[in-house]
Amino acid sequence: MRGLFVVLCCLMFTAPAFGFGKGVEGCTGDCMACHKLTKSEAVDLFKNIDPSLTVEDVASAPARGLYQITLKKDAALHLVYLDFSKNYLVNGPIIDIKSKRNLTQQGVEAATVIKPADIPLDNALVMGNPKGKKVLYLFSDPECPYCAKLHKTVMEMVKEEPQLKVYLILVPLDIHPNSSWKTESIVCKSKKDMAGALKMLENSYEGKEVPHLNCNKVSGAEMKKVGAKFGVNVTPTMSFANGKVLMGARAKDEIMRMIDQASGGK
């Protein structure tokens, strides 16, 4: 018994020397150096959970003790977390308390790419300068309150930046029952009267009446498929000339910075 006590005492004083030395945290500060999750292990794990999910990437999570797994379902990307024991999945956002940033959303944005050349623009509304060299692609829903907030920001931006062209791609979400027919009406109006269509969209965001129009040139279901093709399951979603993505209603300065970066600062 006395011998065991001596061993434990020795471990108490010697363990920090190699595990937690000055300036070093845990396994040399890199948890993934001691804990491993291969992509093939993650694939096997999710086969038993949902075979329709594709594992895109495995990395260290922003919070210690977790793996970050990037999943794809259809075209949409999702981030989930797995503890180091590989027994518990965590599905939800990681929030940085100090900065109040949603690190999970930032991770999804960083992993998502929407190539401008792939976006169908036949049924897009156009705000700002139709010949502008700075371009923003905005996926929006005519009944989404966050889209309404961002729309006001974008209206300010096109007034302040003469080179800004905004393509508005309406994507009706299932949670908004009137979005589908409103999308059809607004896009129908845009075929002959773009200014009138934008006014209809503004009226929708303000809770005003929107007339039922049907020119048989667009369907809400088809516009919904456009969103699904690019994995847009959050509105608003913004895409830029370099394919980078921002999700949600964001500040004007942040959006303009992304636009300028994508256009080479022109």
Full set of structural domains in the chain with CATH: 31-111 (3.10.450.70), 116-262 (3.40.30.10)
What pLDDT is stored for residue 32 in this prediction?
A: 57
The answer to whether residue 2 scores a pLDDT higher than 80 is no
Q: Give CA–CA dist 63/70, Å, rounded.
A: 15
Residue 3 pLDDT: 44
Residues 68 and 219: their CA atoms lie apart, in Å, by: 38
User: Is the pLDDT assigned to residue 266 strictly greater than 70?
Assistant: no
Q: Can you give the pLDDT at residue 190?
A: 94
- Are 192 and 247 in contact by the 8 Å Cβ rule? The answer is no
C-alpha 247/C-alpha 99 separation (Å) is: 18
Burial of 127 (0-12, 13-18, 19+ CB in 10 A): buried
Confidence (pLDDT) at 203: 96
pLDDT of residue 180: 93
Q: What distance in Å separates the CA atoms of residue 7 and residue 3, rounded to the nearest whole number?
A: 6
**Stretch 166-194: mean pLDDT:** 94
Instruction: List, for residues 116-172, the tens digit of each pLDDT value.
Output: 999 999 999 999 999 999 999 999 999 999 999 999 999 999 999 999 999 999 999
**Cβ contact 219:195 at 8 Å:** no
Would you give the DSSP letter of residue 235? S
DSSP for 133-176 reads SEEEEEEE-TT-HHHHHHHHHHHHHHHH-TTEEEEEEE---TTS
What percent of the chain has a predicted confidence (pLDDT) above 70?
86
Distance, CA of 223 to CA of 183 (rounded, Å): 8
Q: What is the pLDDT of residues 35-79, one digit of tens each?
A: 789 999 999 989 888 888 999 999 999 998 999 999 988 888 889
Does the structure show a pLDDT above 60 at 213? yes
| pLDDT for residue 34 is more than 80 | no
